[in-house]
Amino acid sequence: MGLMQRCSYVTMALDLPLSNGAAMNQFKRVASWLKQSRGAVAFTGAGISTESGIPDFRSPGGIWSRSQPVYFDDFLASEAARLEYWHQKAAAHQDFFQARPSTGHQILAAWQAAGRLRALITQNIDGLHQLAGSTDVVELHGTARYIACLSCGQRSDADPLVRQFLASQEVPGCQACGGLLKHATISFGQALEPSVLSRAAELAEQTDLLLVMGSSLVVYPAASLPETAMLHGARLVIVNRDPTPYDERADVVIHDSIGSTLTEIDRCLATLP
């Protein structure tokens, strides 16, 4: 599909109210591409997890609207910064650990199990894709379900250590080596793991269909993945509540709930010959 065709189609998707028939055509189109794909990849952001009840940190009322995030260099240098970091993580802990996979998580896991998806790339740190049953998940920003030692690399389940912190109000240290402990997530100012970023870029280069769901596509380097995919000839589908910088270049844009959208696409898949 040429650039002019893409832009013409997306203008319809963005600027005109869609009738039920037009929306169904979108769902059928994506379902057809998904069935034909030789290695579709899903790329998810916070929007898929807000449907599980996890607040978007950047939204009004999110944790970053109430407090400034702790930068990695400050965490390393300052005991006070480490205490603030643990307070912030403890405040978000229950949201993560009480949440259950949304309809969107479950459908993506089912598609992967059926061979429809090669892998998932996520900006989220909640581990809900794995809870839903997805297996090949590239976590760009790490996971809040584990605590990691910055010295020896030992990992532990987060829940017991967060509970220990809440009871004592003291930042725990590594039992193995005494090193600094933080969640196994990427903090502001901390570099992404090169191997993780390399794997995500490889998937974007090799896919013929990239399904972006619940991402604003403004946080780099993650936001460069759609560009990489398109440069290598992939179709781009965006499902997001709000517009993104890639909307005018995508093949299909749907501004609606991820769960309801994927449900309709899944129904269309089931009817394809």
**Residues identified as active-site:** 141
Specify the pairing of strand 252-254 against strand 40-44. unpaired
Cα gap 111→6, rounded to integer Å = 26
Amino acid (1-letter code) at residue 217: L
* 8 Å CB contact between 214 and 50: yes
Task: Specify the DSSP class assigned to residue 61.
Answer: T
- Return left, alpha or beta for 87; rule: phi > 0 is left, psi -120 to 50 is alpha, else beta: alpha
Strands 252-254 and 235-239: parallel
Q: Match 């995500």 to its residue by tokens.
A: 200
What are all long-range contacts of 67-75, with beta carbons under 8 Å and residues at least 24 apart?
Answer: 69/187, 69/188, 70/187, 70/188, 71/187, 71/188, 71/189, 72/187, 72/188, 72/189, 72/190, 73/189, 75/180, 75/182, 75/187
Q: What is the DSSP string of 81-142?
A: HHHHHHHHHHHHHHHHHH----HHHHHHHHHHHTTSEEEEEES--S-HHHHHT--SEEETTE
